[in-house]
Amino acid sequence: MSRLILLVALLFGAAVCVADEAPKAVLDAVRSVAPSAKVDSVRPASMPGFYFVIVEGHVLYVSNDGRYLVEGVVIDTARHVDLKTEALSGMRKDGVAKIAADKRLVFAPPHPKYKVTVFTDVDCPYCKQFHKQIADYNRLGIQVDYVLFPLSIHPGADKKAEAVWCAGDRNSAYTDAMNGKPLAQKTCNNPIKELTSAAMGMGLSGTPAIIADDGSELGGYVPPDDLARRLESMAAAKIAPN
């Protein structure tokens, strides 16, 4: 989706909702481009004079006075750092940590070496492909914590997520759903809306979204061996001398 189409698409979003302390000029700037869009998060950016804004899972930078709105890569040339990636990683690390263990579907080997959090949609083809190899991820020492994140582009995915959550054995129900087996529709108190809001607030807009413990996004579908290599490399980098 082009950036222009994205911003136009936001016109059809939900009502704006964000913390009261967000600067009016910043919110007004977003509303001037996307009057009906839902603002998920506003916080000061590491780029002086700007705020870091997440709008329905998409990242914007808005100047303090609301005059300038920037979408795209912003590089700190002194540090050679992508500010967007840096900010999102920090938010995602904090956001994932706040998702309680009892709101996840955990598939783990006996003695995990690594753990990833995967935001998943029952109707997502690449999520299905990922889960078909869950035994391989586990065999390589990777614990997978799934967080249900039904996307609005998949009508009815929220009901399927609810059916998984309300099943007697959630892991088995999830596996059945990912293998295309119909689920008995069940309703119960569930965290689906809460988890969807949390995902959007972290700037996530697609699935699968694989998040490492440090908050970095490792991509969408990543084959088991490739994911294990990346996690091993990240672990080695943490202990390497500076």
Q: Is residue 91 part of a domain?
A: no
Last residue of a domain, which of 83, 113, 137?
Answer: 83
Does one domain contain both 211 and 144? yes
- Per the structure, the count of domains in the chain is 2
Q: Is residue 170 part of a domain?
A: yes
Q: Is residue 32 part of a domain?
A: yes
pLDDT of the residue at 189: 95
Q: Is residue 240 part of a domain?
A: no
Give residue 181's domain range. 102-233
Percent of all residues in the chain with a pLDDT value above 90, rounded to a whole number: 60
Does one domain contain both 72 and 138? no
CATH code (residue 167): 3.40.30.10
pLDDT of the residue at 11: 34
Between 96 and 39, residue with greater pLDDT: 96
Whether residue 9 is predicted with pLDDT greater than 80 in this model: the reply is no
CATH code (residue 76): 3.10.450.70
Does one domain contain both 78 and 114? no
Whether residue 66 is predicted with pLDDT greater than 80 in this model: the reply is yes
How high does pLDDT run on average in the chain? 87
Can you tell me the distance from the alpha carbon of 63 to that of 55, in angstroms, rounded to the nearest whole number?
A: 15
pLDDT of the residue at 173: 97
Between 240 and 225, residue with greater pLDDT: 225
Q: What pLDDT, in 10s, does the model give residues 183-228?
A: 888 899 999 999 999 998 888 989 999 999 999 999 899 999 999 9
Does one domain contain both 78 and 113? no
pLDDT of the residue at 21: 60
Q: What pLDDT, in 10s, does the model give residues 130-159?
A: 999 999 999 999 999 999 999 989 999 999
pLDDT of the residue at 12: 32
Long-range contacts of 38-44 (CB under 8 A, 24+ apart): 38/13, 38/14, 38/200, 40/197, 40/200, 40/201, 40/203, 41/91, 41/201, 41/203, 42/18
Q: Can you give the pTM of this predicted structure?
A: 0.79
Q: Is residue 190 part of a domain?
A: yes
pLDDT of the residue at 242: 55
Does one domain contain both 37 and 78? yes
